[in-house]
Amino acid sequence: MESMIAKMVLFLLLLAVSLRSCGASFGYEPVTLEECGDKESNFTSFNSSNCDSRRGCVAFIGERLRLEFSAKNNNQYAVDVVVLVTIESLDRSHTQYFRASCQDYYINFPCTAKPNEEITGYMQIPLDKEYKEGAATFTVHAYSLACGRGRVYMKDM
């Protein structure tokens, strides 16, 4: 009887560890950025109110994903600030593109960045209802300024 209980406890422990590690690998982690390439800089700062240290980054399907950022204009000329966001589910069942400029609704960042100026802003991206529940990656390009990638867990309401 004791050996049966020990096996059951071991099984439950292995199941808990397995679920924990799977959850961590499918998007339950803070926003971290990867470099997009050699030509573009990373964002000076990057955050989201959809993320916290306990549950990672979670966005609700059909709602808005808020991204906050800072980027420095390292060019010798002023640039118009235009941001393109690509969000793709990890199973590749849905991809969404979002383009924003300073005049768009739910957007708050300057229209131009002067040379050596650091800009700060945010955008609230309306998420399509076609996503399935699960992890998704997003890539954010602020043209001629910065680029970065992150992960978010898409959750159904």
In the chain, domain spans:
2-155
pLDDT band at 5 (very low <50, low <70, confident <90, very high): low
At residue 41, the pLDDT reads 82
pLDDT bucket at 116, cuts 50 / 70 / 90: very high
Q: Read off the pLDDT of residues 66-110 as tens digits, 9 standing for 90 and up.
A: 988 899 999 999 999 999 999 999 888 999 999 998 888 788 999
Record the pTM: 0.72
Query: Average pLDDT for residues 108-120, to the nearest whole number?
Result: 93
Q: Architecture of 2-155 per CATH?
A: Sandwich (2.60)
- Cα(83)–Cα(67) distance, integer angstroms: 11
SS (H, E, C) 100-153: EECCCCCEECCCEECCCCEEEEEEEEECCCCCCCEEEEEEEEECCCEEEEEEEE
Give the model's confidence band at 126: pLDDT under 50 very low, under 70 low, under 90 confident, else very high. very high
* pLDDT for 148 beyond 60: yes
Render pLDDT for 33-63 as a digit per residue (tens, 0 to 9): 566 766 678 888 888 888 776 667 888 999 9
Other Cβ atoms less than 10 A from the Cβ of 10: the count is 10
Neighbours of 152 (CB within 10 A): 24
* 62 SS3 class: coil
Q: Give whole-number Cα distances, 16 to 39, 53, 68, 133, in Å.
A: 43, 20, 34, 21
Handedness of CA 104, 122, 93, 157 (dihedral sign): negative
